[in-house]
Protein backbone atom coordinates (compact mmCIF):
# COMPACT_ATOMS: atom_id res chain seq x y z
CA UNK A 1 0.00 0.00 0.00
CA UNK A 2 2.55 2.59 -1.09
CA UNK A 3 0.39 4.73 -3.37
CA UNK A 4 -0.38 7.92 -1.54
CA UNK A 5 -4.04 8.28 -2.68
CA UNK A 6 -4.95 4.94 -1.09
CA UNK A 7 -3.06 5.79 2.11
CA UNK A 8 -4.71 9.19 2.23
CA UNK A 9 -8.21 7.74 1.72
CA UNK A 10 -7.66 5.12 4.41
CA UNK A 11 -6.20 7.66 6.82
CA UNK A 12 -9.10 10.07 6.42
CA UNK A 13 -11.78 7.38 6.48
CA UNK A 14 -10.49 5.39 9.45
CA UNK A 15 -8.49 7.84 11.54
CA UNK A 16 -10.06 11.26 11.04
CA UNK A 17 -11.98 11.16 14.38
CA UNK A 18 -8.72 10.40 16.22
CA UNK A 19 -6.93 13.20 14.39
CA UNK A 20 -9.78 15.57 15.25
CA UNK A 21 -9.57 14.60 18.94
CA UNK A 22 -5.82 15.20 18.79
CA UNK A 23 -6.46 18.59 17.18
CA UNK A 24 -8.82 19.52 20.04
CA UNK A 25 -5.98 18.87 22.47
CA UNK A 26 -3.67 21.16 20.54
CA UNK A 27 -6.01 24.03 19.69
CA UNK A 28 -9.38 25.49 20.66
CA UNK A 29 -12.26 23.23 19.61
CA UNK A 30 -13.41 25.57 16.85
CA UNK A 31 -9.95 25.41 15.23
CA UNK A 32 -9.38 21.67 15.52
CA UNK A 33 -10.84 20.71 12.13
CA UNK A 34 -8.76 23.39 10.40
CA UNK A 35 -5.66 22.10 12.15
CA UNK A 36 -6.36 18.56 10.90
CA UNK A 37 -6.87 19.86 7.36
CA UNK A 38 -3.63 21.84 7.48
CA UNK A 39 -1.77 18.80 8.80
CA UNK A 40 -3.16 16.58 6.05
CA UNK A 41 -2.40 19.14 3.38
CA UNK A 42 1.17 19.75 4.49
CA UNK A 43 1.82 16.01 4.78
CA UNK A 44 0.38 14.97 1.44
CA UNK A 45 1.14 18.08 -0.64
CA UNK A 46 4.36 16.59 -1.98
CA UNK A 47 2.71 13.20 -2.59
CA UNK A 48 4.88 11.58 0.00
CA UNK A 49 5.20 7.80 0.02
CA UNK A 50 4.03 6.09 3.16
CA UNK A 51 4.04 2.39 3.84
CA UNK A 52 0.88 2.45 5.97
CA UNK A 53 -1.84 4.74 7.24
CA UNK A 54 -0.24 4.55 10.70
CA UNK A 55 3.00 5.97 9.35
CA UNK A 56 1.07 8.73 7.54
CA UNK A 57 -0.89 9.46 10.71
CA UNK A 58 2.35 9.98 12.64
CA UNK A 59 3.49 12.54 10.07
CA UNK A 60 0.11 14.29 10.14
CA UNK A 61 0.21 14.47 13.95
CA UNK A 62 3.69 16.00 13.86
CA UNK A 63 2.57 18.51 11.24
CA UNK A 64 -0.46 19.41 13.38
CA UNK A 65 1.73 19.91 16.45
CA UNK A 66 4.13 22.11 14.49
CA UNK A 67 1.27 24.19 13.09
CA UNK A 68 -0.21 24.56 16.55
CA UNK A 69 3.09 25.79 17.99
CA UNK A 70 3.60 28.19 15.07
CA UNK A 71 0.09 29.57 15.51
CA UNK A 72 0.48 30.10 19.24
CA UNK A 73 3.84 31.83 18.72
CA UNK A 74 2.36 34.07 16.03
CA UNK A 75 -0.58 34.99 18.25
CA UNK A 76 1.71 35.78 21.18
CA UNK A 77 3.87 37.95 18.92
CA UNK A 78 0.77 39.72 17.60
CA UNK A 79 -0.51 40.32 21.15
CA UNK A 80 2.84 41.80 22.19
CA UNK A 81 2.92 44.05 19.13
CA UNK A 82 -0.65 45.18 19.72
CA UNK A 83 0.07 45.89 23.38
CA UNK A 84 3.14 47.90 22.40
CA UNK A 85 1.17 49.94 19.86
CA UNK A 86 -1.64 50.44 22.36
CA UNK A 87 0.72 51.66 25.06
CA UNK A 88 2.66 53.94 22.70
CA UNK A 89 -0.32 55.49 20.96
CA UNK A 90 -0.39 59.26 21.21
CA UNK A 91 -2.99 60.81 23.41
CA UNK A 92 -4.98 63.82 22.33
CA UNK A 93 -2.64 66.09 24.26
CA UNK A 94 0.43 64.58 22.50
CA UNK A 95 -0.81 65.38 19.00
CA UNK A 96 -0.05 68.86 17.77
CA UNK A 97 -3.21 70.80 17.02
CA UNK A 98 -4.38 71.53 13.54
CA UNK A 99 -5.21 75.11 14.42
CA UNK A 100 -8.87 74.56 13.65
CA UNK A 101 -10.19 74.53 17.17
CA UNK A 102 -11.34 71.61 19.26
CA UNK A 103 -14.96 71.70 18.11
CA UNK A 104 -14.02 71.63 14.42
CA UNK A 105 -11.42 68.88 14.94
CA UNK A 106 -13.95 66.78 16.84
CA UNK A 107 -16.57 67.29 14.14
CA UNK A 108 -14.12 66.40 11.33
CA UNK A 109 -12.90 63.28 13.13
CA UNK A 110 -16.52 62.12 13.55
CA UNK A 111 -17.05 62.10 9.76
CA UNK A 112 -16.90 58.80 7.84
CA UNK A 113 -13.38 58.07 6.48
CA UNK A 114 -13.93 58.95 2.80
CA UNK A 115 -15.92 62.04 3.64
CA UNK A 116 -13.26 63.14 6.10
CA UNK A 117 -10.51 62.55 3.52
CA UNK A 118 -12.36 64.62 0.91
CA UNK A 119 -12.94 67.47 3.37
CA UNK A 120 -9.33 67.51 4.52
CA UNK A 121 -7.87 67.34 1.02
CA UNK A 122 -10.27 69.86 -0.52
CA UNK A 123 -10.49 72.45 2.25
CA UNK A 124 -7.39 72.03 4.38
CA UNK A 125 -4.87 70.91 1.76
CA UNK A 126 -6.54 73.09 -0.88
CA UNK A 127 -6.50 70.43 -3.61
CA UNK A 128 -8.81 70.66 -6.59
CA UNK A 129 -11.61 68.17 -7.18
CA UNK A 130 -9.50 66.44 -9.84
CA UNK A 131 -6.42 66.23 -7.59
CA UNK A 132 -8.50 64.90 -4.70
CA UNK A 133 -10.07 62.29 -6.97
CA UNK A 134 -6.62 61.16 -8.13
CA UNK A 135 -5.22 60.94 -4.61
CA UNK A 136 -8.18 58.94 -3.30
CA UNK A 137 -8.82 56.88 -6.41
CA UNK A 138 -12.39 58.14 -6.70
CA UNK A 139 -14.37 59.75 -9.48
CA UNK A 140 -14.70 63.52 -9.46
CA UNK A 141 -18.43 63.16 -8.89
CA UNK A 142 -17.80 61.03 -5.81
CA UNK A 143 -15.39 63.63 -4.44
CA UNK A 144 -18.03 66.33 -4.95
CA UNK A 145 -20.69 64.21 -3.24
CA UNK A 146 -18.48 63.31 -0.25
CA UNK A 147 -17.38 66.93 0.10
CA UNK A 148 -20.96 68.22 -0.01
CA UNK A 149 -22.11 65.60 2.50
CA UNK A 150 -19.19 66.41 4.79
CA UNK A 151 -19.78 70.14 4.66
CA UNK A 152 -23.48 69.62 5.41
CA UNK A 153 -22.63 67.39 8.37
CA UNK A 154 -20.04 69.83 9.69
CA UNK A 155 -22.46 72.71 9.28
CA UNK A 156 -25.17 70.86 11.20
CA UNK A 157 -22.83 69.87 14.04
CA UNK A 158 -21.04 73.18 14.33
CA UNK A 159 -24.13 75.38 14.00
CA UNK A 160 -25.70 73.47 16.89
CA UNK A 161 -22.67 74.44 18.99
CA UNK A 162 -22.76 78.15 18.18
CA UNK A 163 -24.35 80.43 20.75
CA UNK A 164 -27.76 81.71 19.70
CA UNK A 165 -28.29 85.44 19.39
CA UNK A 166 -31.17 86.77 21.41
CA UNK A 167 -31.90 89.68 19.12
CA UNK A 168 -31.72 89.71 15.35
CA UNK A 169 -28.72 91.41 13.87
CA UNK A 170 -29.56 94.56 11.91
CA UNK A 171 -27.44 95.58 9.05
CA UNK A 172 -27.46 99.29 8.44
CA UNK A 173 -26.09 101.16 5.54
CA UNK A 174 -24.66 104.57 5.73
CA UNK A 175 -26.38 107.07 3.58
CA UNK A 176 -24.02 108.35 0.97
CA UNK A 177 -24.90 111.82 -0.24
CA UNK A 178 -25.90 111.95 -3.83
CA UNK A 179 -23.02 113.44 -5.75
CA UNK A 180 -25.07 114.27 -8.82
CA UNK A 181 -25.70 117.88 -9.54
CA UNK A 182 -29.28 119.05 -9.10
Number of domains making up the chain:
2
Do residues 67 and 139 both lie within one domain? no
| Range 172-178 average pLDDT | 53
Residue 121 lies in a domain: yes
Q: How far apart are CA 83 and CA 95, in angstroms?
A: 20
Residue 125 per-residue DSSP state = S
| Range 145-170 average pLDDT | 74
Range in 30-39, 50-59, 170-179 the model is least confident about: 170-179
Residue 54 lies in a domain: yes
pTM of this prediction? 0.46
Q: How far apart are CA 65 and CA 71, in angstroms?
A: 10
Residue 72 lies in a domain: yes
Q: How far apart are CA 38 and CA 21, in angstroms?
A: 15
Do residues 66 and 111 both lie within one domain? no
Amino acid sequence: MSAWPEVFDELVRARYPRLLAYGRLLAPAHEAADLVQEGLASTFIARARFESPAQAEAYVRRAMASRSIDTSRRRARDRRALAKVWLERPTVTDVPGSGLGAAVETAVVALPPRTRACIVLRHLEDLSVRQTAEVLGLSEGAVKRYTADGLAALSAVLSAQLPRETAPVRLTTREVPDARPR
